[in-house]
Amino acid sequence: MPVHVALLRAVNVGGTSSLSMADLKGICEGLGFADVKTYIQSGNVLFRSDRSAGDVATMLDDALREKLGKAPGVMIRTGAQLQAIADRAPFPDAKPNLLHVVFLSDPPPADALDRLVAPDGEEVEIAGSEIYIHFPNGSGRSKFKLPAAKPGTARNLNTVRKLADLALDMER
């Protein structure tokens, strides 16, 4: 059975939607997903399912809507996709904790960077359905704005690498 990595949007960040990882695991098991594992308290879950990425994203988003009162948004990637995303990360001098990857369901529009606000020297590159953002001074106090990133969910490069490793280990 293929391994899927689900990246939940707006869960356990800034108090928007609180969900324990034990509850997330239980929801996934209740949906029939196998070998469910969560990683850190930011809405990352790995599991096996024969269903397509689109199907598991919809199933999980619907179940989370029931639990949280709103659908947070779920992006699905495989271990190989996460590894490729990590491997093609731009900004080679960036510390991995300061390089974020925004995962989107679909590629952003061609004019996605037109409304970019990057007052602290942030750098941005788009590759497919991911947006790479380097926050040289950290993201916590940044006034960075990129409307095209809003429907997505971000993970730093360390987390992307770890999720890729976990998923690839599950596939072996």
Pair 61, 122 in one domain: no
Supply the angle between the helices 157-171 and 79-87 in degrees, to the nearest 10: 140
Maximum distance among all Cα pairs of the chain, rounded to whole angstroms: 46
Pair 96, 72 in one domain: no
In degrees, rounded to 5, the angle at the alpha carbon of residue 67 between the alpha carbons of residues 163 and 63 is: 65
Pair 94, 161 in one domain: yes
Domain end position, chosen among 33, 58, 77: 77
Q: Is 45 within a domain?
A: yes
Q: For residue 41, what are the domain limits?
A: 3-77
Q: How far apart are the first and last CA of the chain?
A: 11
The pLDDT score that the predictor gives to residue 123 is: 98
| Residue 70 CB partners (closer than 8 Å, separation 6+) | 17
Model confidence at 24: pLDDT above 70: yes
**Mean residue pLDDT across the chain:** 95
Q: Is 66 within a domain?
A: yes
Q: Count of domains in the chain?
A: 2
Q: What pLDDT band is residue 77 in, cutting at 50, 70 and 90?
A: very high
Domain end position, chosen among 77, 105, 121: 77
pTM to 2 decimal places: 0.95
Residue indicated by tokens 């659908």: 71
Q: Is 131 within a domain?
A: yes
At 143, which amino acid appears?
Answer: K
3-state secondary structure of 150: coil
